[in-house]
Amino acid sequence: MDSHSNDNWNADLYDEKHAFVSNFGNDLVKLLNPRKGEKILDIGCGTGDLAKRLSDCGSDVIGIDQSENMVSQAKEKYPNLTFIVQDVADMSYDYEFDAVFSNATLHWVKQSKQALRCIFKSLKQGGRFIAEFGGKGNVQIIADEVIKQIKKSGFKWNEEQFPWYFPSIGEYTSLMEETGFRVTFAQHFDRPTLLDGDEGLRNWIEMFCSGMFEGIDHKSKDNIVLNVEGEVKSRLYKDGQWMADYKRIRVIGVKE
């Protein structure tokens, strides 16, 4: 989200219907391999589940998220941990962390260069940056159809309304190297993602695509979503379940 005052994040819907976000993050925690006593920054901590996992490993964790709704829910769930409302592209940490960890967040950050600079600056010498987020082609079937149906309904579509940044692996690792990181691991992979229940796709659009429907009334939005469901069903509805067409990037960079 671009501003804290316009906080479209529904923390309850996130916890109830989109727990897969932090569940998939468990693999990333293994890649991070948090150690006792390490100081770790969790960027885009959401409602705090992965920060809690890192803390359980004995790490000293600070969780940041741009959404006040998410941070207040995280504080409520885990009152003993530290959570702060903060934009990653606006951080001023300097040489503080052994590791920076980020799951399913950096595709929301269009100021990717600035974010990487802040991440690099926040790390101690020898510190590591471990992240997973949407890569090139992520949710393309869903996003293309939403845009198509918005236009078909007579509404204007402005490219700036596209809420995400989905880089290729070459693009992102080049940015990391420009920033000063040594890239030690990079992967771009398909991860079809199960969406919960018959309303799975609708809930996903409600949760993650609100910015795409700016200026569109509630009734028109409902019709658009209905049409999207109809058009993508043959490709994304398998064995009675909705599957989102996720493509993820995973990277590890070291500050040498």
Measured CA to CA, the distance from residue 256 to residue 251 in angstroms comes to 16
For 150-180, how does the pLDDT look when each residue is reduced to its tens digit (9 = 90+)? 999 999 999 999 999 999 999 999 999 999 9
Q: Answer positive or negative: Cα dihedral of 31, 34, 39, 41.
A: positive
User: By three-state DSSP, how is residue 82 classified?
Assistant: strand
What per-residue confidence (pLDDT) applies to 22? 58
Q: Answer positive or negative: Cα dihedral of 191, 40, 64, 96.
A: negative
What per-residue confidence (pLDDT) applies to 16? 55
What per-residue confidence (pLDDT) applies to 59? 97
Q: Which long-range contacts (CB under 8 A, 24 or more apart) does 91-96 make?
A: 91/64, 91/118, 91/119, 91/121, 91/122, 92/118, 93/41, 93/118, 93/121, 93/122, 94/121, 94/122, 95/121, 95/122, 95/123, 95/124, 95/125, 96/39, 96/41, 96/122, 96/123, 96/124
- Provide the 8-state DSSP code for 160: G
**Which residues of the chain have a pLDDT value below 50?**
1-6, 9, 17-18, 20
Q: In what order do the strands lie in the sheet with 241-244?
A: 193-195, 241-244, 237-238
Measured CA to CA, the distance from residue 102 to residue 112 in angstroms comes to 13
What per-residue confidence (pLDDT) applies to 27? 85
What per-residue confidence (pLDDT) applies to 1? 37
Domains of the chain: 11-139+164-196+245-255 (3.40.50.150)
What per-residue confidence (pLDDT) applies to 21? 55
Beta strands 193-195; 241-244: pairing state: antiparallel
What per-residue confidence (pLDDT) applies to 152? 97
What per-residue confidence (pLDDT) applies to 4? 38
What per-residue confidence (pLDDT) applies to 2? 38
Q: 2 near 111, Cβ under 8 Å?
A: no
What per-residue confidence (pLDDT) applies to 134? 97
Measured CA to CA, the distance from residue 215 to residue 150 in angstroms comes to 11
What per-residue confidence (pLDDT) applies to 26? 79
What per-residue confidence (pLDDT) applies to 3? 37
What per-residue confidence (pLDDT) applies to 115? 98
What per-residue confidence (pLDDT) applies to 144? 98
